[in-house]
Amino acid sequence: MHMIRRVLSFRIANPILSGLYYSFFWMMVGALILSLLLWSSGMQEQSLSRLIYVVHAIAALFGGMVAGKRSGRKGWYNGGLTGILYGLLIMVIGFLALDTSLRMGDLLLLGTVFASAAIGGMLGVNVRNNY
């Protein structure tokens, strides 16, 4: 049974890439929740701007936690780098898909995801399992 579990498991060795993977996973979960909220209530899309920042901050926090846990040291650095890369990828995707330009909100997003992921990285190092 141990052999089957090892064959079926998927693990990204690099802490930054694994943090980005988990960040995007939680961002998709948050986007699904926000779209269900939009669908089930009478909210307008324009009223979701603050909630989008919350979703990105939570996604970066979880990604930073994974990066810090996988690295085992320098949690703020690995988490912060994960957050910066996550924010830059979100900005590049927005530029390519929606043809948006650089705004002050993008710098706010970068600062938010950096701080959130750095805190997550510090938490991730401290909740690391010592086998």
Q: What is the pLDDT of residues 8-42, one digit of tens each?
A: 566 777 889 999 999 999 999 999 999 998 888 87
Domain ranges of the chain: 15-126
Distance, in Å, from the CA atom of 5 to the CA atom of 24, rounded to the nearest integer, reads 25
Residues 6+ apart with CB under 8 A from 59: 23, 24, 25, 26, 27, 30, 86, 113
Nearest to 83 by CA among 27, 11, 12, 10: 27
pLDDT tens sequence across 48-73: 888 899 999 999 999 999 999 988 88
Distance, in Å, from the CA atom of 46 to the CA atom of 12, rounded to the nearest integer, reads 37
CA-CA-CA-CA torsion sign (117, 118, 123, 124): positive
The radius of gyration computed from the CA coordinates of the chain, to the nearest angstrom, equals 16
Q: With beta carbons less than 8 A apart as the criterion, state whether 89 and 63 touch.
A: no
Distance, in Å, from the CA atom of 77 to the CA atom of 33, rounded to the nearest integer, reads 30
94 vs 4: which has the higher pLDDT: 94
Q: With beta carbons less than 8 A apart as the criterion, state whether 87 and 115 touch.
A: no
Confidence band of 131 (pLDDT split at 50, 70, 90): very low
Proportion of the chain above pLDDT 90, given as a percent: 47
pTM of the model: 0.84
